[in-house]
Amino acid sequence: MEEAWQYTCKYLKELDIKAMDTNMALQVKHALDLPLHWRAPRAETRWFIDFYERRGDKNHLLLDLAKLDFNIVQAIHQEDLKDAMRWWRDTGPGNLSFVRNRLVTSYLWAVGTAHQPQYSCTRKIIAKAIALITVIDDI
Protein backbone atom coordinates (compact mmCIF):
# COMPACT_ATOMS: atom_id res chain seq x y z
CA MET A 1 0.00 0.00 0.00
CA GLU A 2 2.89 2.33 0.82
CA GLU A 3 4.43 1.67 -2.60
CA ALA A 4 1.14 2.53 -4.30
CA TRP A 5 0.93 5.76 -2.28
CA GLN A 6 4.49 6.75 -3.17
CA TYR A 7 3.98 5.94 -6.86
CA THR A 8 0.71 7.87 -7.02
CA CYS A 9 2.18 10.90 -5.25
CA LYS A 10 5.18 10.89 -7.56
CA TYR A 11 2.94 10.63 -10.64
CA LEU A 12 0.58 13.39 -9.48
CA LYS A 13 3.44 15.72 -8.58
CA GLU A 14 4.93 15.28 -12.05
CA LEU A 15 1.67 16.27 -13.76
CA ASP A 16 1.49 19.70 -15.33
CA ILE A 17 -1.27 21.16 -13.18
CA LYS A 18 -1.44 24.37 -15.20
CA ALA A 19 -2.34 22.40 -18.34
CA MET A 20 -5.24 20.48 -16.80
CA ASP A 21 -8.82 21.46 -16.05
CA THR A 22 -9.19 23.82 -13.07
CA ASN A 23 -11.45 21.42 -11.16
CA MET A 24 -9.09 18.51 -11.73
CA ALA A 25 -6.09 20.59 -10.67
CA LEU A 26 -7.90 21.56 -7.48
CA GLN A 27 -8.65 17.90 -6.70
CA VAL A 28 -5.05 16.88 -7.36
CA LYS A 29 -3.71 19.63 -5.12
CA HIS A 30 -6.20 18.69 -2.40
CA ALA A 31 -5.27 15.00 -2.64
CA LEU A 32 -1.57 15.79 -2.36
CA ASP A 33 -2.04 18.02 0.70
CA LEU A 34 -3.35 15.21 2.89
CA PRO A 35 -4.67 11.73 2.10
CA LEU A 36 -8.44 11.34 2.18
CA HIS A 37 -8.41 8.72 4.95
CA TRP A 38 -6.54 11.14 7.25
CA ARG A 39 -9.16 13.87 6.93
CA ALA A 40 -12.18 14.45 9.18
CA PRO A 41 -15.19 13.20 7.20
CA ARG A 42 -17.51 16.13 7.99
CA ALA A 43 -14.85 18.73 7.18
CA GLU A 44 -14.17 16.89 3.94
CA THR A 45 -17.89 16.97 3.19
CA ARG A 46 -17.87 20.75 3.48
CA TRP A 47 -14.87 20.99 1.15
CA PHE A 48 -16.50 18.73 -1.43
CA ILE A 49 -19.78 20.67 -1.35
CA ASP A 50 -17.86 23.86 -2.13
CA PHE A 51 -15.90 22.04 -4.85
CA TYR A 52 -19.02 20.49 -6.41
CA GLU A 53 -20.78 23.85 -6.42
CA ARG A 54 -18.12 25.23 -8.81
CA ARG A 55 -18.58 22.45 -11.34
CA GLY A 56 -20.45 23.24 -14.53
CA ASP A 57 -22.22 19.87 -14.72
CA LYS A 58 -23.53 19.93 -11.14
CA ASN A 59 -26.88 18.48 -10.18
CA HIS A 60 -28.67 21.30 -8.34
CA LEU A 61 -31.04 18.97 -6.50
CA LEU A 62 -28.17 16.81 -5.26
CA LEU A 63 -26.24 19.92 -4.20
CA ASP A 64 -29.24 21.27 -2.26
CA LEU A 65 -29.71 17.92 -0.52
CA ALA A 66 -26.03 17.79 0.42
CA LYS A 67 -26.18 21.30 1.86
CA LEU A 68 -29.36 20.48 3.77
CA ASP A 69 -27.82 17.31 5.19
CA PHE A 70 -24.67 19.16 6.19
CA ASN A 71 -26.68 21.91 7.91
CA ILE A 72 -28.87 19.39 9.77
CA VAL A 73 -25.84 17.49 11.04
CA GLN A 74 -24.15 20.76 11.99
CA ALA A 75 -27.26 21.77 13.98
CA ILE A 76 -27.14 18.40 15.79
CA HIS A 77 -23.48 18.99 16.64
CA GLN A 78 -24.30 22.47 17.92
CA GLU A 79 -27.04 21.10 20.19
CA ASP A 80 -24.65 18.45 21.52
CA LEU A 81 -22.06 21.12 22.25
CA LYS A 82 -24.68 23.27 24.02
CA ASP A 83 -25.55 20.30 26.25
CA ALA A 84 -21.88 19.66 27.00
CA MET A 85 -21.31 23.36 27.80
CA ARG A 86 -24.30 23.31 30.14
CA TRP A 87 -22.84 20.24 31.86
CA TRP A 88 -19.45 21.96 32.15
CA ARG A 89 -20.97 25.06 33.68
CA ASP A 90 -23.40 23.27 36.05
CA THR A 91 -21.19 20.48 37.42
CA GLY A 92 -18.37 22.62 38.66
CA PRO A 93 -15.15 21.98 36.70
CA GLY A 94 -15.80 25.13 34.72
CA ASN A 95 -15.90 27.15 37.96
CA LEU A 96 -12.35 26.26 38.97
CA SER A 97 -10.04 29.14 38.12
CA PHE A 98 -6.94 27.02 37.40
CA VAL A 99 -8.64 24.57 35.02
CA ARG A 100 -8.33 25.04 31.26
CA ASN A 101 -11.65 25.30 29.49
CA ARG A 102 -10.97 22.93 26.59
CA LEU A 103 -14.49 21.61 26.16
CA VAL A 104 -14.86 22.72 22.54
CA THR A 105 -11.56 21.05 21.66
CA SER A 106 -12.70 17.92 23.48
CA TYR A 107 -15.95 17.97 21.55
CA LEU A 108 -14.13 18.32 18.23
CA TRP A 109 -12.10 15.24 19.13
CA ALA A 110 -15.38 13.44 19.80
CA VAL A 111 -16.74 14.57 16.42
CA GLY A 112 -13.62 13.16 14.79
CA THR A 113 -14.31 9.84 16.51
CA ALA A 114 -18.07 9.58 15.96
CA HIS A 115 -19.28 12.06 13.35
CA GLN A 116 -22.55 10.36 12.35
CA PRO A 117 -25.67 12.14 13.65
CA GLN A 118 -27.03 9.08 15.48
CA TYR A 119 -23.99 8.97 17.82
CA SER A 120 -24.95 12.09 19.75
CA CYS A 121 -24.72 10.40 23.16
CA THR A 122 -21.32 8.92 22.28
CA ARG A 123 -19.95 12.32 21.31
CA LYS A 124 -21.16 13.89 24.55
CA ILE A 125 -19.61 11.13 26.67
CA ILE A 126 -16.29 11.28 24.82
CA ALA A 127 -16.16 15.08 25.10
CA LYS A 128 -16.92 14.95 28.83
CA ALA A 129 -14.32 12.23 29.41
CA ILE A 130 -11.63 14.20 27.58
CA ALA A 131 -12.61 17.38 29.45
CA LEU A 132 -12.34 15.53 32.79
CA ILE A 133 -8.95 14.13 31.80
CA THR A 134 -7.86 17.71 31.11
CA VAL A 135 -9.10 18.74 34.57
CA ILE A 136 -7.17 15.88 36.17
CA ASP A 137 -4.08 16.94 34.22
CA ASP A 138 -4.47 20.51 35.48
CA ILE A 139 -4.80 19.35 39.08
Structural domain for 109, as ranges = 39-138
Closest by Cα among 115, 112, 105, 110 to 137: 105
6 within some domain: no
Instruction: Give 4-24 pLDDT, tens digit per residue.
Output: 888 888 888 887 767 777 777
Q: What is the number of domains present in the chain? A: 1
Residue 94 has pLDDT above 70, yes or no: no
94 within some domain: yes
118 within some domain: yes
83 within some domain: yes
C-alpha angle 87-42-123 in degrees, rounded to nearest 5: 25
Instruction: Give 37-78 pLDDT, tens digit per residue.
Output: 788 888 888 889 998 998 888 899 999 999 999 999 999 999
Q: Helices 120-138 and 103-113 meet at what angle, rounded to 10?
A: 140
Instruction: Report phi then psi at 9, rounded to 5.
Output: -60, -45
CB neighbourhood size of 15 (10 A): 13
- pLDDT for res 76: 95
53 within some domain: yes
10 within some domain: no
